[in-house]
């Protein structure tokens, strides 16, 4: 009985620490009163919890606010330099590795241009390992001060329990990426879908913040979604990423790189946009070799180049149809358009995109939808990936051993 009672007490203490840390992390510095209200614990409990966290060095005082006639209330915050995390975006044009402190400020960045369709999994592992070494060297941060590495990848990720990646569009079939990485680094690892992680970053820090039901769209070379339903959030697991880009919008339509025909991605993905422009121009047009730069430049000419205008109008039409379908299925309160191409389309043609979505959505669910451009930029996936070890750490109540425990035996 005594052992069980001790275990219960320790579990409650860990949960209270976790609640306080989540409140500080998501809402920023605050008084003990605010933390207690946000965490749902009593004044006495929050004082004890904050005292423990300050003794650990994880929480520090950062100022004070006047109180109603008594002593000023002290403000506390998570110490940004207490520990660090690494976020990796395995994209289709580069592998981006970034080192963050606990305030999610970038302390080191290393980008390796690549072409994922020609890159073997073993080479991706080499790029990640080299990138982690580079950002640690840039920042002077010791390996022991890193809580872990989060990695965002294209395709579906199966956790069994180590992550296995199924990325049909780039030729990855059941790639045991997490196991391959564990052979090269002793740091704790977490691997997940890139669109899902972009959504997590927007949900915690960006345009999706505070929304109960939200769909975050990633549009770039490929197309994916991250879907949050009522009740999900920092404390609950997010939903699985949707392979929305590979839903058919035209029966027997344009061939898609996944092997099917008529997928939405075959009409709105960056490769499809560039290919359609070449068709309208009667052949490949001169321009930069980099697909992202090329598509960005051609869409920016939409007001002066008829072919660009046609391409952008078709892109808005098909993307609007896809968003309308999302609204009909999920009834979100907010749809956030992210990714380098998604943000550009939103900036150039948001009113037209909203009209196209409205034409393809049922009136009642669409009346309550906000269509927004994502707040976060090119490193949103890396930022989202870095939240994976952060989330483990906060949910453990700030216990490093819980994060380190994610290493395989």
Task: Give the pLDDT confidence of 224-261 residue by residue, as tens digits.
Answer: 898 887 655 544 434 455 678 899 999 999 999 888 99
Residue 193 forms part of a structural domain: yes
Is the confidence at residue 288, as pLDDT, over 70? yes
Same domain, 151 and 52: no
Q: How confident is the model at residue 401 (pLDDT cuts 50, 70, 90)?
A: confident
At 206 the pLDDT is 92
The token pair that represents 115 in the structure block: 């072409």
pTM of the model: 0.88
Beta-ladder partners of 158: 164
Residue bearing the bigger pLDDT, 207 or 233: 207
Residue 356 forms part of a structural domain: yes
Domain boundary among 53, 78, 103: 78
At 210 the pLDDT is 81
**CATH at 136:** 3.30.420.40
At 235 the pLDDT is 42
At 67 the pLDDT is 61
Residue 182 forms part of a structural domain: yes
At 231 the pLDDT is 53
Residue bearing the bigger pLDDT, 7 or 250: 250
Same domain, 250 and 361: yes
Average pLDDT taken over every residue of the chain: 88
Element (H, E) at 89: strand 84-90
- Mean pLDDT within 193-213: 90
Same domain, 95 and 141: yes
Of 104-113, 233-242, 244-253, 383-392, where does mean pLDDT reach its minimum? Answer: 233-242
Is the confidence at residue 357, as pLDDT, over 70? yes
Same domain, 68 and 90: no
Of 66-70, 345-349, 374-378, where does mean pLDDT reach its minimum? Answer: 66-70
The token pair that represents 119 in the structure block: 């890159």
Same domain, 316 and 225: yes
Residue 397 forms part of a structural domain: yes
Does residue 188 contact residue 404 with C-beta atoms inside 8 Å?
yes
In terms of Cβ atoms closer than 10 Å to its own Cβ (0-12, 13-18, 19+), residue 4 is exposed
Does residue 92 contact residue 222 with C-beta atoms inside 8 Å?
yes
Same domain, 190 and 228: no
Is the confidence at residue 397, as pLDDT, over 80? yes
Domain range enclosing 194: 84-198+380-403
Q: How confident is the model at residue 3 (pLDDT cuts 50, 70, 90)?
A: low
Does residue 127 contact residue 94 with C-beta atoms inside 8 Å?
no
Is the confidence at residue 161, as pLDDT, over 80? yes
Q: How confident is the model at residue 8 (pLDDT cuts 50, 70, 90)?
A: confident
Same domain, 19 and 153: no
Same domain, 30 and 100: no
Residue 44 forms part of a structural domain: yes
Is the confidence at residue 118, as pLDDT, over 90? no
Residue 216 forms part of a structural domain: yes
Strand arrangement, sheet containing 156-159: 156-159, 163-167, 172-175
Residue bearing the bigger pLDDT, 132 or 258: 132
Q: How many domains does the chain have?
A: 3
At 236 the pLDDT is 43
Same domain, 227 and 269: yes
Of 82-86, 144-148, 327-331, where does mean pLDDT reach its minimum? Answer: 327-331
Q: Pick the most confident of 31-45, 86-100, 388-402.
A: 86-100
Does residue 149 contact residue 86 with C-beta atoms inside 8 Å?
yes
Task: From 101, 96, 245, select the one nearest 167 (Cα to Cα).
Answer: 245
């Amino acid at each position: 009985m005594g052992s069980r009672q001790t275990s219960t007490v320790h579990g409650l203490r860990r949960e209270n620490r976790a609640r306080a840390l989540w409140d500080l992390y998501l809402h920023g510095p605050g008084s003990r009163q605010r933390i207690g209200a946000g965490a749902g614990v009593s004044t006495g409990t929050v004082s004890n919890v904050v005292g423990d966290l300050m003794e650990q060095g994880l929480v520090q005082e950062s100022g004070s606010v006047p109180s109603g006639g008594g002593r000023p209330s002290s403000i506390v915050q998570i110490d940004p330099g207490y520990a660090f995390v690494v976020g990796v975006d395995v994209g289709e044009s580069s592998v981006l590795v970034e080192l963050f402190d606990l305030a999610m400020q970038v302390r080191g960045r290393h980008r390796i241009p690549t072409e994922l369709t020609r890159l073997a999994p073993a080479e991706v592992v080499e790029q990640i390992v080299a990138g982690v070494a580079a950002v640690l060297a840039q920042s002077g941060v010791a390996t022991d001060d890193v809580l872990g590495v989060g990695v965002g990848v294209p395709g579906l990720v199966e956790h069994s329990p180590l992550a296995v990646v199924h990325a049909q569009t780039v030729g990855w079939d059941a790639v045991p990426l997490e196991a391959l990485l564990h052979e090269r680094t002793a740091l704790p690892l977490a691997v997940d879908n890139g669109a899902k992680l972009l959504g997590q970053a927007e949900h915690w820090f960006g345009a999706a913040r505070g929304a109960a039901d939200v769909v975050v769209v990633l549009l770039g070379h490929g197309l994916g979604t991250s879907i949050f339903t009522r009740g999900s959030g920092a404390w609950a697991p997010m939903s699985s990423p949707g392979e929305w880009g590979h839903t058919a919008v035209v029966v027997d339509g344009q061939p898609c790189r996944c092997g099917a025909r008529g997928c939405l991605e075959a009409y709105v993905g960056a490769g499809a946009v560039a290919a359609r422009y070449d068709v309208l121009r009667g052949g490949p047009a001169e321009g930069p070799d980099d697909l992202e730069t090329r598509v960005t430049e051609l869409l920016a000419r939409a007001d002066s180049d008829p072919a660009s205008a046609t391409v952008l109008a078709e892109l808005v039409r098909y993307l609007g149809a896809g968003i309308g379908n999302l609204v009909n299925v999920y009834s979100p309160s907010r749809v956030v358009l992210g990714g380098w191409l998604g943000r550009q389309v939103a900036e150039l043609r948001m009113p037209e995109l909203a009209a196209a979505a409205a034409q393809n959505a049922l009136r009642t669910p669409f009346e309550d939808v906000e269509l927004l451009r994502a707040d976060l930029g090119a490193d949103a996936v890396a930022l989202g990936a870095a939240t994976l070890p952060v989330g483990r750490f906060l949910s453990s109540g700030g216990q490093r051993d819980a994060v380190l425990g994610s290493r395989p035996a």
